[in-house]
Structure 1
């Protein structure tokens, strides 16, 4: 778990320098509520960067704006990682497919995520 692309990229580069070429996929968690932000901080074991926390928490009294800011931050993170050659992204959905769908669509990753569950065959 990480908040800044640089943290993941440093890890990737340190592993490559040690000739470790195991797949390493960054996990992206859209931070769309204060509760999700605090849970991410707990899981990461580090504070969110002040700039990111401030960007999100300035909307603590406006849930829709906080959600939009969280999606935007996740899109910026994903764009940076993909520009740096990361082959894929893993999304922590927290049972909120619409948020993940918004990030995936904004990143133009493959075809749009289906809104309907896949049929069981």
Structure 2
């Protein structure tokens, strides 16, 4: 973790593009509350094969109109090089200087190959650097508990290093609830000479059923003691939220005291949980 000390701490919020007008109005109200604490940027997710592409563009356009620094997600699976460059040209014309470069989820039943010109995030980072030089600050994904499709922990860290070697500026991790997994991941990266900020991704706990579903899909471990406590609350939403805020605030405090270079909150388009954690941390 030593190399992470030297980086300035950054705080950011992630949003997803709403599907309806009502969802968009709710997003805008929540963003205005989140913007009040002056995060470095807002990132906006992007569906596999561009399934939410138009809605991503609309959300990004609104954020830019509010003079908020915005980092659109860009996934390469299912897109041609020309399509990716066209999207990036569009973002550049909007004055955007930061993107989150991802492989993206494979369409169900598809193997790699034949679903676009680029198969891996490091190839996307290379394309961005070759085409746009240093115009974009490139964020990439990191997996402290390892990507669910990685053949081994070592292979996953080497995949991460490829993205860094291709020109990534910083990384955002998959969410986790075990800080030791993060520390060990960062230490392993340092031993390979990786020298970029690796910012913990933070998922506030607000809904037990959704959390279990997300975590099973993305390979994020929920420690047994947290699972058992959440199970014990049953349908008591208020207690689940209160416990979730307490647990996640304590973890964030520990991470920052151990020199994590900031926090990236997965807001699920809700301002309240992230802002309560923010307040608890005295940020």
Give the TM-score category using the shorter length: 0.7 to 0.9
- Give a deviation string over 1:61-113, Cα, whole Å, max 9, x none: 2110000001111101101101111120110000111011001110111xxxx
Match of 1:42 in 2: 216
Question: 1:43-70 CA distances to partner (integer Å, 9 max, x unpaired)?
Answer: 4314411011112221122110000001
The normalised TM-score by structure 1 is: 0.82
Provide the C-alpha distance between the structure 2 equivalents of 1:64 and 1:53, rounded to a whole number of angstroms: 16
2:33 corresponds to:
none
Map 1:90-109 → 2, pairs under 5 A: 90-109=264-283
| Pairing 1:1-121 to 2, within 5 Å after superposition | 1=174, 2-109=176-283
CA separation in 2, counterparts of 1:12 and 1:5?
11
Unpaired segments ≥5 residues, structure 2 = 1-173
Residue 40 of structure 1 deviates from its aligned partner by 3.5
Return the structure number with greater relative CO, CA threshold 8 A, min gap 6. 1
Structure 2 distance, partners of 1:107, 1:49, is 22
Matched length? 109
Name the CA distance, whole Å, in 1 between partners of 2:264 and 2:256.
Answer: 12
Change in Cα spacing, 1:3 to 1:83, as seen in structure 2 (3 Å) is: same
Query: Which structure shows the bigger proportion of residues in helix conformation?
Result: 1
Larger radius of gyration: 2
SS of equivalent residue, structure 2 residue 206 = coil
Report the RMSD for the aligned CA atoms in angstroms: 1.4
2 CA distance for matches of 1:40 and 1:25? 20
Using the alignment, how far apart are the partners of 2:236 and 2:212 within structure 1? 17
CA distance in 1 between counterparts of 2:272 and 2:266 reads 12
Relative to 1, partners in 2 of residues 1:73 and 1:40: Cα closer, same or farther, differing over 3 Å? farther
CA distance in 2, matches of 1:55, 1:82: 25
